[in-house]
């Protein structure tokens, strides 16, 4: 059964995209193993203007309890769609020129969500989870080491593989997190990552079924859908979740 996974924020999906710049300052570099210590990645990433993919995110705790969430994601310029499943109920989020909307396809209803800051929630007041990979990678960094491992094929796509180790501090404590990321050579974006934090928690993210052509209809609200208040839509979703969890 698919579960909601709060450990990943939207920014974390792209991992390092927001951190990449044209001019990067490298502190040290070792040519022998392509390892650099830097405040920014030694590679650049960008999200394609138009693409569709399935994103699978998995969490393993220290006791190997597994949580999995799958999302269908699509982008066409400023148009965005994300579809997920919560306890058997399909939920669709749309970002359109006229606003942001949340849809329940099984009920054929939708609601205006422009005043909802974080649609997929599970996030803190700053818009991301305390345990998200993005926060673990960028909160109070002491040093970050990037090692280029080499070329590797992922689901038939050529990628450059990197190991990233971040040392970060919280008060008097120093912790380290390690991520292995696969950057697609053609798309110039991460399509797979594996992350491990100091407490033993592990996360994986992978994009599959990647296509660059998209049906424009996926960014439209069907004409037979009824518009309801967001509070009513949320109540329906909570009721469906409660019913699904009944023994």
Phi, psi of 118 (to 5 degrees): -135, 100
Residue 62 confidence (pLDDT): 77
Task: Tell me if 3 is assigned to some domain.
Answer: no
Minimal CA–CA distance to 4: which of 64, 100, 86?
86
In a domain, 146, yes or no: yes
Range of the domain at 175: 10-244
pLDDT at 142: 55
**Helices marked H in 3-148:** 10-14, 133-138
Indicate the number of domains in the chain: 1
Please indicate, yes or no, if residue 5 is contained in any of the structural domains. no
- Within-domain flag for 210: yes
pLDDT at 146: 82
Partnered with residue 54 across adjacent β-strands are: 72, 208
Cβ within 8 Å of residue 23, ≥6 positions away = none
Structure tokens at 28: 């040290």
* CATH code of the domain covering residue 164: 2.50.20
Kindly state whether residue 227 falls inside one of the protein's structural domains: yes
Residue 207 is predicted with a pLDDT of 93
As a whole number of angstroms, the distance between CA 178 and CA 195 comes to 6
Other Cβ atoms less than 10 A from the Cβ of 49: the count is 10
Element housing 72 (H / E): strand 66-76
Structure tokens at 132: 């998200």
Residue 4 lies in a domain: no
Has residue 2 been placed in a domain?
Answer: no
| 73 occurs within a structural domain | yes
Token pair 């951190």 in the structure block, residue: 19
Name residue 182's beta-bridge partners. Answer: 161, 192
Please report the pLDDT score of residue 197 as a whole number.
80
H or E element in which residue 243 lies: helix 230-244
pLDDT in tens, the chain (247 residues): 334 333 333 333 333 333 333 333 333 334 445 666 665 776 777 788 999 999 999 998 878 778 888 999 999 999 999 999 877 789 999 999 999 999 999 999 999 988 665 444 433 434 344 444 444 444 444 567 888 888 999 999 999 999 888 765 444 444 467 889 999 998 888 899 998 887 788 899 999 999 999 999 999 999 999 999 999 998 988 876 655 555 5
């Amino acid at each position: 059964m698919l579960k909601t996974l709060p450990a990943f924020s939207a920014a974390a999906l792209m991992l390092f995209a927001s951190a990449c710049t044209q001019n990067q300052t490298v502190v040290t570099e070792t040519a022998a193993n392509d390892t650099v210590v830097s405040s920014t990645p030694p590679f650049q990433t960008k999200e394609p203007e138009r693409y569709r993919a399935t994103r699978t995110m998995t969490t393993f705790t220290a006791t190997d309890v597994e949580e999995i969430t799958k999302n269908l994601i699509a982008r066409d310029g400023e148009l965005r769609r994300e579809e997920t499943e919560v306890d058997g109920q399909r939920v669709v989020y749309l970002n359109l020129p006229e606003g942001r909307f949340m849809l329940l396809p099984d009920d054929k209803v939708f609601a205006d969500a422009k005043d909802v800051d974080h649609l997929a929630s599970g996030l803190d007041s700053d818009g991301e989870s305390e345990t998200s990979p993005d926060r673990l990678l960028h909160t109070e960094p002491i040093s970050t080491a990037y090692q280029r491992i080499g070329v590797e094929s992922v689901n038939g796509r050529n990628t450059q593989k990197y190991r990233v180790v971040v040392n970060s501090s919280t008060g008097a404590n120093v912790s380290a997190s390690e991520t292995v990321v696969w950057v697609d050579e053609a798309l110039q974006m991460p399509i797979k990552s594996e992350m491990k934090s100091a407490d033993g928690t592990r996360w994986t993210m992978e994009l599959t079924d990647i296509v660059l052509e998209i049906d424009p209809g996926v960014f439209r609200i069907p004409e037979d859908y009824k518009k309801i208040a967001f509070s009513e839509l949320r109540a329906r979703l909570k009721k469906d979740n409660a019913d699904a969890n009944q023994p």
